Amino acid sequence: MIQYVIRRLLMAIPVLFAVVLATFVLVHALPGGPFDAVGEKAMPEQIRLVMERRYGLDKPLYEQFLLYVGNLLKGDLGPMMHLRSQTVNEIVSETFPVSFQLGMMCVTLGFVIGIPAGIIAALKRNTPIDYGATFVAIAGVSVPSLVLGPVLILIFGVALDWFPIAFWGAEPPFILGIFPKPTAEFWHHAVLPVLTLGSGTSALIARLTRASLLEVLGEDYIRTARAKGLRERVVIAVHALKNSLIPVVTLLGPMLAGYLTGSLVTEQIFALNGMGRRLISSVAQREYFLLTGLTLIYGVMLILGNIMVDVLYAWVDPRIRFE
């Protein structure tokens, strides 16, 4: 298993290299540089040249790339070009925890609500409870965060005034650099964004759990378990549930990728200082290094997530063996 994980990590290196290369080339191919203007006015030619030399932008592209990769290997994501008091590393250490906390809470919400809802719907099959749960699940999958966010703001933020409608409740410094201080303010602020991004996931998990539990309940070994007189509770919890979770785990991979799109929108709607929001603003400002760095981090997260999913997969389905 450890060997497998190490091999997957090694295989990720060329992928990440290609991502960096592609991003780097695309970003630098953009017409117009970061120092074309100061505010509304055009930057004087002389100062522009000085600034470009300062960041090495006057060198040939391949030299810039080698320099960048060399810095990357040292763990340096590069300087910021407009907010010159900060480095990309600082920006990332500020914004990554926010996106990470949001994503983790959404995954948790997805499983805490999705799996029980799916089990109940499957056990009460073809009853009003099942129909209700299925309908809510399909609706939950279908309402995009783009729509759900504003609607939740309207209902719970504006009309009822229960929850704050913008900003994240935790600020740096974070505990261990990544976890929030669990203050009341934090939970209060987290409710709407997490619901916006996470309800789709929990609906998807509920649907899949229901379908696969129904399939598993038709298997022979379930009949055997019942025939030897086990209580229904034990049959479901011990024999059926773990097997029915296999397809749910496969879903985790695409789900991680889905959070990317979703978090971009959610962070924008709720004005959260996360990576997605920074990515968008860095596009407009031509923050070369920030743009490349954030894309790289997204790539790393995606790869790590997929490896984790595969490991989890082997745990729920022991028939899968890694060679």
Does 33 contact other proteins by CB under 8 A? no
The footprint of other proteins on residues 37-56 (CB under 8 A) is none
Question: Is residue 154 involved in binding other proteins (CB under 8 A)?
Answer: yes
Q: Which is nearer to other proteins, 257 or 312 (CB)?
A: 257
Render the burial of 163-195: b for 16+ CB within 10 Å, e for the rest: bbbeebbbeeebeeeeebeeeeeeeebbbbbbb
Residue of the chain from 52, 108, 273, 299 that contacts other proteins (CB under 8 A): 299
- Kindly state whether residue 13 participates in binding other proteins, applying the rule CB under 8 A: no
Count interface residues toward other proteins (CB under 8 A): 49
Helix (H, G, I), strand (E, B) or coil at 91: helix
Stretch that binds other proteins, among 18-26, 54-62, 174-182, 238-246 (CB under 8 A): 18-26
Q: How far is CA 85 from CA 88, 153, 282, 302, 303, in A?
A: 10, 35, 16, 30, 31
234 binds other proteins (CB under 8 A): no
Q: Which of 170, 192, 235, 269 binds other proteins (CB under 8 A)?
A: 269
The only residue of 18, 50, 104, 234 in contact with other proteins, by rule CB under 8 A: 18
* Alpha-carbon gap, residue 276 to 268, rounded angstroms: 8
Q: How far is it, in rounded angstroms, from Cα 58 to Cα 216?
A: 63
Nearer to other proteins, 29 or 73 (CB): 29
DSSP H or E stretch at residue 37: strand 37-38
| Range list of H helices, 166-245 | 184-217, 220-227, 232-234, 241-244
Q: Does 27 bind other proteins (CB under 8 A)?
A: yes
What phi and psi values does residue 38 have, to the nearest 5 degrees?
A: -110, 110
Query: What values do phi and psi take at 310, rounded to 5?
Result: -65, -40
Residues that bind other proteins (CB under 8 A): 12, 14-15, 18-19, 22-23, 26-27, 29-32, 138-139, 141-144, 146-147, 149-151, 153-154, 158, 214, 218, 254, 257-258, 260-261, 264-265, 268-269, 279-280, 283, 291, 294-295, 298-299, 302-303, 306
